[in-house]
Amino acid sequence: TEERLRQSEKLTVVGQLAAGVAHEIRNPLTALRGFVQLQFEQGEVREIMLKELDRIECISREFLLLAKPQSIRVAEEDPYGLLTDVLTLLQSQAHLQRIMIVTEIDKPLPRIRCEANQVKQAVMNLLKNAMEAMEEGGTLHVCLQGDGEGATLTITDEGKGIAPDHLQRLGDPFFTTKEDGTGLGLMVTRQIVHHHGGILTFDSELEKGTTVTLWLPINTDFATEEEREAVQIVQ
């Protein structure tokens, strides 16, 4: 647990710095993109410039997510509702990739005191990774269970799996194996899970697939004084 604590402190500092830098980058970036669009004629150079600018935009947007949102709203949420919202957003992408999403929902489920948008963001990142790993399509199993202490979301994909020596690097800033990946999704996810006092685990076998388990407690005592101040509790 000491290592986990140290990691999270590191993330907070990185997150604050990253958010500041991202914010400063976005204004000039928007101006530059407009300029390229206006001044360069159609052609390969213009397309490459726009593509690279969009990549910077994408990275800075993910960085901004690391910042403390302006208003955090903690409330008792129905985990099934949160999951359904995210699955709805991913449905068409799943269809395009020939992925069938099979859900198994235990009822009744306990309500979870959390920041809904952050939790949705975390679940979205996990589901997107699962789908991106399933290049040949297949079945994605999503299971939601509850008990007296919390709720567990289990995502099992039939994707390419994660190499054993990559497992410990998941969530490190910029760790990606994808050509157009940012390596920031799991960093954000890990930070959100930590804020909620949850646990995120990965179990994977190469060429077989990956199971990601996310556990969130019914109620969390937001870890530090600083975090408590940032939270407007809505009861």
Could you tell me if 91 and 128 are in contact, meaning their C-beta atoms sit under 8 angstroms apart? no
According to the binding rule CB under 6 A, does residue 86 interact with ligand ADP?
no
According to the binding rule CB under 6 A, does residue 185 interact with ligand ADP?
yes
According to the binding rule CB under 6 A, does residue 16 interact with ligand ADP?
no
Taking the least distance from each CB to ligand ADP, the nearer of 109 and 155 is 155
Near ligand ADP by CB under 6 A: residue from 82, 114, 151, 170: 170
Give the phi and the psi of residue 43 in degrees, each rounded to 5.
155, 180
Chain centroid to CA 24: how far?
A: 23
Scanning 18-26, 138-146, 177-185, 222-230 for contacts with ligand ADP by CB under 6 A, the matching segment is: 177-185
Instruction: Report the alpha-carbon distance of residue 9 to residue 2 in Å, rounded.
Output: 11
Q: Binding string, 115-144, against ligand ADP, x = CB under 6 A?
A: ----------x---xx--x-----------
Taking the least distance from each CB to ligand ADP, the nearer of 60 and 182 is 182
Q: Binding string, 120-149, against Mg ion, x = CB under 5 A?
A: ---------x--------------------
Helix (H, G, I), strand (E, B) or coil at 125: helix
Shortest Cβ 63–ligand ADP spacing (Å)? 13
Near ligand ADP by CB under 6 A: residue from 178, 201, 206, 234: 178
Q: Give long-range contacts, CB 8 A cutoff, 24+ apart: 94-100.
A: 94/131, 94/140, 97/131, 97/134, 97/137, 98/136, 98/137, 98/138, 99/131, 99/134, 99/137, 99/138, 99/139, 99/140, 100/138, 100/139, 100/140
The closest alpha carbon to 62, from 187, 184, 177, belongs to 184
Per partner kind, with CB cut-offs from 5 to 8 A, the member of ligand ADP, Mg ion, none near residue 158 is: none
Could you tell me if 2 and 47 are in contact, meaning their C-beta atoms sit under 8 angstroms apart? no
Helix (H, G, I), strand (E, B) or coil at 197: coil
Shortest Cβ 228–ligand ADP spacing (Å)? 28
Shortest Cβ 125–ligand ADP spacing (Å)? 6
